[in-house]
Amino acid sequence: MKILVTGGAGFIGSHIVDILIENGHDVSILDNLSTGNKKNLNSSAKFIKGDILDNNLDLTGFDCVIHEAAQINVRTSVENPTFDGDINIIGTINILEKIKEYGVKKIIFSSSGGAVYGEPEYLPVDEKHNLKPLSPYGLSKFCAEEYIKLYNRLYGIEYCILRYSNVYGERQDPLGEAGVISIFIDKMKKGETPVIYGDGNQTRDFVNVKDVAKANLMALKWKNDIVNIGSGKETSVNELFKIISSEISFDKNPIYEKEREGEVYRIYIDYEKAKSLGWSPKVELNDGIKEI
Q: What are the domain boundaries of the chain?
A: 2-167+206-229, 173-203+234-269+283-291
> Which sequence positions are flagged as catalytic?
137
Q: What angle do CA 254, 245, 280 make, to 5 degrees?
A: 110
The CATH number assigned to the domain with range 173-203+234-269+283-291 reads 3.90.25.10
Contact, 216 vs 66, CB < 8 A? yes
Tell me the three-class secondary structure of 228-247, residue by residue: EECCCCCEEHHHHHHHHHHH
Q: Do residues 225 and 124 touch, judged by C-beta distance below 8 A? A: no
- Give the model's pLDDT for residue 177: 62
The alpha-carbon radius of gyration of the chain (Å, integer) is: 18
64-67 and 106-112 strand pairing: parallel
For residues 178 and 53, give the distance between their C-alpha atoms in angstroms, rounded to a whole number.
Answer: 23
Closest alpha carbon to 42 in 19, 61, 60: 19
Say if residues 49 and 34 touch (Cβ distance below 8 Å): no
Measured between alpha carbons, how far is 262 from 77 in angstroms, rounded to an integer?
A: 9
The total number of residues written for the chain in this structure:
292
pLDDT at 278: 99
- Count the alpha carbons within 13 Å of 4 in the hemisphere toward its beta carbon: 28
Question: Would you say 236 and 201 are in contact if contact means Cβ atoms under 8 Å apart?
Answer: yes
Q: For residue 244, how many C-alpha atoms fall within 13 Å in the half-sphere facing its CB?
A: 26
β-strands 166-168, 235-236 pairing: unpaired
Q: What is the dihedral of CA 10, 15, 81, 75, to 10 degrees?
A: -90
Helix, coil or strand: residue 219: helix
In CATH, what number does 2-167+206-229 get?
3.40.50.720
Q: Name the DSSP class of 89.
A: I
3-state secondary structure of 44: coil
pTM for this prediction: 0.97
Q: How far apart are CA 245 and CA 279, in angstroms?
A: 31
Residue ranges of alpha helices (H) inside 81-195 are: 81-85, 91-102, 136-155, 180-189
208 strand-pairing partners: 168
Q: Residue 206 gets which letter from DSSP? A: E
- Per residue of the chain (292 residues), what is the pLDDT tens digit? 999 999 999 999 999 999 999 999 999 999 999 999 999 999 999 999 999 999 999 999 999 999 999 999 999 999 999 999 999 999 999 999 999 999 999 999 999 999 999 999 999 999 999 999 999 999 999 999 999 999 999 999 999 999 999 999 999 999 766 699 999 999 999 999 999 999 999 999 999 999 999 999 999 999 999 999 999 999 999 999 999 999 999 999 999 999 988 889 999 999 999 999 999 999 999 999 999 8
Q: How many Cβ atoms sit within 10 Å of the Cβ of residue 111?
A: 25
Q: Judge whether 2-167+206-229 and 173-203+234-269+283-291 match in fold.
A: no
